[in-house]
Amino acid sequence: MYKIAILLDEQTLFLESLEKVISDLKLFDFIYTFKKESDLIQFLIHFRTRKELYFFLDYYVQDRIISMVLKDIRPFIRNGKIIIVSSIKNALLLKELTALKPHGIVSKFDRLVELIESIKEIANGSVYYSTYTKALLDTIISERISFTPRELELLNYFNKGLSVDATAKMVSLSRHTVAAHRRKMFAKANCNSITELLNYVKKMGLFDTY
């Protein structure tokens, strides 16, 4: 059966690189790329095929995490294969991805061979977690990360949608200080973005402690 690859990632450079890599593998007859979930959904609404679909989806696109994206697109893809390609470094967030039951999870830090292996294993009916993914999941511990009262205060403002500048005014701190606090929290939680950080904090129930 012929295969079609569908890529969703808002980072242009990575999207173009992934498209080239998948194209060079010569495992797919067609490759479609999207930077916005809305464009992907419009495509799926009108797209009809008997070919096997493989979706390569980033963890979050335009501040929407993958669980939201999957909820929107799954009605259109029934038998499609879902492969999450993510830069997540936080083991607990990664654990949440496994609960979504994707066909595979591959890290942006993995070698090319991992991507090839994931496609082959999934085609054979297996679920594939890359080497980096499995290693990160193995590091999960029961203790949650400790944030200071000031950090929790800033997190609550970020959770309300306030920017660094707006948050700085609310707590009477300089923009530089608030940005430094945010970088420190990224490092603590091993997150790459405010979206990942807030999602982690919510999963841990840390907002309830403030």
Domain boundaries, the chain: 3-137, 149-209
pLDDT (tens digit per residue) in 106-151 = 998 888 888 888 988 998 889 999 999 998 888 775 556 788 888 9
CATH number of the domain located at residue range(s) 149-209 in this protein = 1.10.10.10
Superfamily the domain 3-137 falls into: Response regulator (3.40.50.2300)
145-154: which pairs have CB atoms within 8 A and are 24 or more residues apart? 145/188, 145/189, 145/204, 147/185, 147/188, 147/201, 147/206, 149/210, 150/181, 151/181, 151/184, 151/185, 152/206, 152/207, 152/209, 152/210, 153/210, 154/178, 154/181, 154/182, 154/185
Per-residue tokens: 74: 């799954």
Does the structure show a pLDDT above 60 at 53?
Answer: yes
pLDDT value at position 182? 95
Contacts of 144 (CB under 8 A, 6+ apart): 204, 206
